[in-house]
Structure 1
């Protein structure tokens, strides 16, 4: 199994009906690439990302991912498609989000510290298939 330099926490931090306060959690983060599962919603989870730097290229064969930026600037690099469509970069600022469909090879980056929310299935492997 490949080791990655990320602080990925898959435990559900907040059970149903417990208020979620992000500010204290975000303020406590010191790792450059932190990912914490906040809560479960049906078969999906909502995760908090506090990050700076680049994630590795990867894809998810069976799962879509939703990224929503709360603070900072967050970039989603998309690899060229097998059909020859060029790769591109989706740049997200505060209040902006994007869905990366299953099977799309992508990499996320934060040139400066960014705070994002992710929504994905609970079964997803965050580092990719």
Structure 2
């Protein structure tokens, strides 16, 4: 396998592609994990992952991480890992947040329906 400048992923180019809503797309795979970019202008639903931890890295804006125990605010340049089986949801604070997530490629997401 060879590597060259063709392998570069330009995060700035990808972050400018979304207009409204919630966008989540893969950027690269590393071993059995995927690195995704999410661009959020609205809340994501409550959910958990039974087979994977999930790491969030904020690259633009502020990300609110809601947990059953409270809310954690993550600013640009901050990172946190949510262990598997922990219910959570993410949402932007302000107009938009852009985040990288790292998780198992075969991660399962279980949506938690509102009561």
Question: TM-score, structure 2 length as denominator?
Answer: 0.86
Q: What is the CA RMSD across the aligned residues, in angstroms?
A: 1.5
The alignment covers a number of residue pairs equal to: 106
More strand by share: 2
Segment drifting more, 92-101 vs 16-25: 16-25
Name the CA distance, whole Å, in 2 between partners of 1:98 and 1:24.
24
Could you tell me how far apart the structure 2 residues matched to 1:110 and 1:21 are?
22
Q: Which runs of 5+ in 1 are unaligned?
A: 1-15, 80-86
- Which of 18, 24, 27 is the equivalent residue of 1:29? 18
CA distance in 2, matches of 1:99, 1:128: 18
Partner in structure 2 of residue 43 of structure 1: 32
Shift of 1:31: 3.7
Query: Is 1:102 aligned to residue 91 of structure 2?
Result: no
Aligned to 1:56: 45
Separation in structure 1 between the aligned mates of residue 14 and residue 20 of structure 2, nearest angstrom = 12
* 1:60-99 pair list within 5 angstroms: 60-79=49-68, 87-99=69-81
The equivalent residue for 1:117 is: 100
Q: Structure 1: which 4+ aligned runs deviate by more than 2 Å?
A: none
Consecutive unaligned residues of structure 2, counting only runs of 5 or more, are none
C-alpha distance after superposition, 1:41-66 (max 9, x if no partner): 00000000111111111111111000
Q: TM-score, normalised by structure 1?
A: 0.77
